[in-house]
Amino acid sequence: MGKVAVAFAAAAVVAACSVAAVMVRRRVKSRRKWRSVVEILKELEEGCDTPVGRLRQVVDAMAVEMHAGLASEGGSKLKMLLTFVHELPKGTEKGTYYALHLGGTYFRILRVHLGGERSYLDVQDVERHPIPSHLMNSTSEVLFNFLAFSLEKFIEKEGNGSNSQGVKRELAFTFSFPVKHSSISSGVLIKWTKGFEISEMVGKDIAECLQVALNRRGLDMHVAVLVNDTVGALSLGYYHDPDTVVAVVFGTGSNACYLERTDAIIKSQGLLTTSGSMVVNMEWGNFWSSHLPRTSYDIDLDAESSNSNDMGFEKMISGMYLGDIVRRVIVRMSQESDIFGPSSSLLSEPYVLRTNLVSAMHEDDTPELQEVARILKDLGVSEVPLKVRKLVVKVCDVVTRRAGRLAAAGIAGILKKIGRDGSGGITSGRSRSEIQMQKRTVVAVEGGLYMNYSMFREYMDEALVEILGEEVSQYVVVKAMEDGSSIGSALLVASLQS
Ligand code: ADP
Ligand code: MG
């Protein structure tokens, strides 16, 4: 071999070696990047961990805060608001009633016709529309004009058939935001939540705002009750089953109400009702306890929200926020490695990953996770390998599992407060027959997150049994109430007339 040939051969060997070295370095680098992503996942799992011991601490904290909120005004982050609802619909109501419901994402209008027996509940013309986003930071006049206009259209459609002439239509206004009531049909807005920001409305009487807007349009409607959505759900639950004493909503936001003895509402001494009880709107979205498992994603989400330092529990368990927690984890992973390809500017947009997309990815049962791939592509992240798609599903699982389990702890906290959790029975060895004396308790649940996200529901149900134990859980029935917050409010109006 000539000198030149030897030099060529040597150069080829050197080149091959350096290519191999580059490939090895790349593989090592990519393995290191994958490891850092797995590390982020592990950290998330640890941060979101909810062993039953921790859930029980949340249960206790919820019960303690409920006591504190009932004891004095401002005594707790839980406002424990009076609703002035002390009789719930029994099933004997008659007539035609209307409901308008302003939720966090949707508004709904419907009419119910009642025939005097439970089985004669006829829910008619349910209309459900997204709330136009410009209304969320408009003015009270613009918002209420829009609602009145929508009601007018609804009434126009029904013709003359549903209302005998000259009779005023009785309307329930279901308003899913915190209100300080002075009666069942009046109350002022305490604060906005769920991204609404019409500051001049804080302190205004909500029912009056609607009534004025209705009058302005010449609509012959009377705002007969102003209720929280949870109270609506409780009313429908009770109408069907009088063992219903708690109602919880998991929709855009989250909240709960329950039937409380008036003598336990210490901050309102002398409160007298014929039934001896009153529905209390907990506003549990604002619950907080150091036992809640909080991650850096929660802290950042809160800091960047329009209501920071507020609604901490809601931000961990409700539909408005779960998607954004998942998004934040994915963004962090994509910053630490290139497994998601070049960084997507779309994904850095807050709230772009909505919770219905989280459930669609989580529940994707196609073999190659095509639904996950499609959703990620829509978010500007395309061509991600299967193992990365699996990782995304895992992130959805961790965030939703924590939400479902904390939701269960919240419910168990209410049951503890009203003595329906069997406590004492399990730990201090109460006899079997005493446990069987436990009253049947129905918890009415509604909201888009609960109704549409089966993994959330399953995690919640599973944790409730874990917390309460098999025996006590047999007495606790969780019942889904589709559109309960709107239908139930209309039933409440009916019960006031009869
Ligand atoms: P509102 O909060 O306006 O009363 P809903 O109770 O219908 O309305 O809840 C709507 C919210 O429920 C959505 O904003 C979303 O967060 C959540 N949601 C709706 N559909 C799904 C779904 N398929 N999976 C998960 N969450 C969902
Ligand atoms: Mg709702």
**pLDDT one-digit tens code per residue, 389-426:** 999 999 999 999 999 999 999 999 999 999 999 885 33
* Tens place of pLDDT per residue across the chain (498 aa): 556 555 556 666 666 656 666 666 666 777 788 899 999 999 999 999 999 999 999 999 999 999 999 999 999 999 999 999 999 999 999 999 999 999 999 999 999 999 999 888 999 999 999 999 999 999 999 999 999 999 999 999 987 655 555 678 999 999 999 999 999 999 999 999 999 999 999 999 999 999 999 999 999 999 999 999 999 999 999 999 999 999 999 999 999 999 999 999 999 988 888 889 999 999 999 999 999 999 999 999 999 999 999 999 999 999 999 999 999 999 999 999 888 888 778 899 999 999 999 999 999 999 999 999 999 999 999 889 999 999 999 999 999 999 999 999 999 999 999 999 988 533 334 444 444 458 999 999 999 999 999 999 999 999 999 999 999 999 999 999 999 999 999 999 999 987
Q: How far apart are CA 455 and CA 1, in angstroms?
A: 71
Pick from 364, 452, 454, 483 the residue to mutate for probing ligand 1's pocket: most ligand atoms within 8 Å of its CB.
Answer: 452
Q: How far is the CA of 250 from the centre of ligand 1 (A)?
A: 8
Q: Whose CA is nearest to atom 24 of ligand 1?
A: 356
Ligand 1 atom, smallest distance to 354 CA? 16
Q: How far is the CA of 142 from the centre of ligand 2 (A)?
A: 21
Q: At what angle do helices 296-303 and 319-336 cross, to 10 degrees?
A: 120
Q: Domains of the chain: which residue ranges?
A: 83-157+165-240+482-496
Identify residue 451 by its one-letter amino acid code: M
Identify residue 131 by its one-letter amino acid code: I
Query: Looking at the CA of 396, which ligand is closest?
Result: 1
Q: How far apart are CA 412 and CA 425, in angstroms?
A: 15
**pLDDT one-digit tens code per residue, 342-392:** 877 889 999 999 999 999 999 999 999 999 999 999 999 988 999 999 999
Q: How far is the CA of 17 from the centre of ligand 2 (A)?
A: 64
Q: How far is the CA of 103 from the centre of ligand 1 (A)?
A: 10
305 closest CA partner among 281, 328, 275: 328
Q: How far apart are CA 408 and CA 55, in angstroms?
A: 8
Q: Among the residues of 72-186, which ranges form H helices? A: 140-158
What predicted TM-score, i.e. pTM, was given to this entire model?
0.92
User: Ligand 1 — pocket residues by CB below 6 A?
Assistant: 103-106, 176, 251-252, 319-320, 355-356, 359, 447-449, 452-453
Q: How far apart are CA 410 and CA 404, in angstroms?
A: 10
Tokens of 64: 């303690």
Distance of CA 66 to the CA centre of its chain: 19
Question: Is 3.30.420.40 the CATH classification of the domain at 83-157+165-240+482-496?
Answer: yes
Distance of CA 216 to the CA centre of its chain: 34
SS3 327: helix
Ligand 1 atom, smallest distance to 105 CA? 3
Q: Whose CA is nearest to atom 14 of ligand 1?
A: 252
Those residues whose beta carbon sits under 5 angstroms from the ion ligand 2 are 103, 176, 229, 251
Q: Whose CA is nearest to atom 12 of ligand 1?
A: 448
